[in-house]
Amino acid sequence: MSAIPWVGQDATIIRVIQILFSNTKMANTNTESYKYNKKIYNTLTNAKNLKPPFIRNYSTGNNSSNLGKLNPDFVSGFIDAEASFSTVVYYKNRWCINSVFKITLHKKDIYLLKALQAYFGGVGKISGSDVVSYRVESVNSLVNNIITHLDKYPLQTQKKADYELFKRIVLLMDKKQHLTDKGLQEIINIKAVLNKGVSEELLAEFPNTTPVFRPLVELPAVQDIKPHWLAGFTAGDGCFFVYTEKNHKFSSGVRIKLRFNICQHSKDKLLMERIASYFNCGIVTETARGEVNFDVHKFSDIYDIIIPFFNKYAIHGVKVEDFESWKSVAELMKIKAHLTKQGIEKIILIKSNMNKAREIN
């Protein structure tokens, strides 16, 4: 196998990596083996400051103007993953209602929030420092921008039930019904089954509250799952993992594994099973914590199904950087570079700058 070229090689960093292995010759064979050094390996894989030039960092180049106009189904998928619909009832000289559509992300994804705001016609506000939120609370904007979109490009998770309840409240507010005793009570009846319901204090103020029935969410058929919706959903709740573990069965002493994951509350287990059927690969498992995971571990499924899908239906936001890094590891594994010393050096460096370890420029 020909050598894998380094781009912008930093000799100091490479030397640190090379300490990971010590060259020895295996008895009765010409195969070169590299002895695993656990202490150095752990130090390296946990490092946050090794940033070789060829690894992608999050940068201001990944901004809202470069994203272009977002696909409507992508927007709905991302809302399914990251948005919340809430209504607050409070007393200030009179009973007041405040309904809010909100998406909260780490500051590294502020450009995605700006792209979403642009998609919705510039309505709402973005605020925050390390954690940033996009909020829409104007009734007019909720009706004409958020609700109009979601009625045309519907949600697919159980969050859709909260959206339908939220919409009923906002439409009552749009008709000024919240200013009447009857309309206010109707809103309290709806809020009683929205998200976490109403407090005991609020129930004491409205003793005639009768909770409405929570809407049932009809799941999409496998063939009706929209690929751009799935890309948006993955941009919010998907993860691309690279695992490096000690394993003396490999001549390098290190085993490399890839994993694609989407995690949800167990109430969306049936949807996760349909996503698995859509991809025709992976497994769905449920945890004791009430989570359900769709996982793809098999390399051929990752290389032949998952990667081509996201090449065609793009993820947006900083997570696309993790996908590109993950994909580059898959390409190295495809040519068996993960079985060589130099290939493992590259993979470990790529992994050191993925997910939570990724730096912000």
| Beta-carbon contacts of residue 121 (< 8 Å; ≥ 6 apart) | 145
- In degrees rounded to 5, what are phi and psi of residue 31? -75, 130
Distances (CA, A) of 234 to 60, 72, 231, 345: 22, 15, 5, 29
The confidence score (pLDDT) of residue 250 equals 65
Q: What dihedral angle (degrees, nearest 10) is formed by the CA atoms of 54, 55, 56, 57?
A: -120
The confidence score (pLDDT) of residue 252 equals 61
Which regions of the chain does DSSP assign to beta strands (E)? 21-25, 32-36, 83-91, 95-106, 125-128, 131-136, 238-246, 254-265, 283-286, 291-296
State the sign of the Cα–Cα–Cα–Cα dihedral 215, 193, 153, 230.
negative
Q: Is residue 260 part of a domain?
A: yes
The confidence score (pLDDT) of residue 358 equals 52
Interval 302-347: pLDDT, tens:
999 999 999 999 999 999 999 999 999 999 999 998 888 888 889 8
31 and 116 assigned to the same domain: no
The confidence score (pLDDT) of residue 249 equals 67
The confidence score (pLDDT) of residue 311 equals 97
- Show the domain range for 143: 64-155+159-205
Q: Of 269, 243, 271, whose CA–CA distance to 347 is shortest?
A: 243
49 and 138 assigned to the same domain: no
82 and 106 assigned to the same domain: yes
pLDDT per residue, tens digit, the chain (361 aa), is: 444 443 333 333 344 344 344 333 333 333 333 333 444 444 444 444 443 333 333 333 345 445 668 999 999 999 999 999 999 999 999 999 999 999 999 999 999 999 999 999 999 999 999 999 999 999 999 999 999 999 999 999 999 999 999 999 999 999 999 999 999 999 999 999 999 899 999 999 999 999 999 999 999 999 999 999 999 999 999 999 999 887 676 666 778 999 999 999 999 999 999 999 999 999 999 999 999 999 999 999 999 999 999 999 999 999 999 999 999 999 999 999 888 888 888 988 898 878 765 555 4
Split into its structural domains, the chain has a count of 2
- Map tokens 């999409």 to a residue: 220
- In degrees rounded to 5, what are phi and psi of residue 302? -65, -45
261 and 170 assigned to the same domain: no
27 and 47 assigned to the same domain: yes
Q: Determine contact, residues 218/154, Cβ cutoff 8 Å.
A: no
pTM above 0.95, yes or no: no
45 and 137 assigned to the same domain: no
Q: Is residue 229 part of a domain?
A: no
Q: Is residue 225 part of a domain?
A: no
- Map tokens 């900083």 to a residue: 318
Q: Is residue 298 part of a domain?
A: yes
CATH number reported for the structural domain that contains residue 260 in this entry: 3.10.28.10
By DSSP bridging, strand 95-106 and strand 83-91 are antiparallel
The confidence score (pLDDT) of residue 244 equals 85
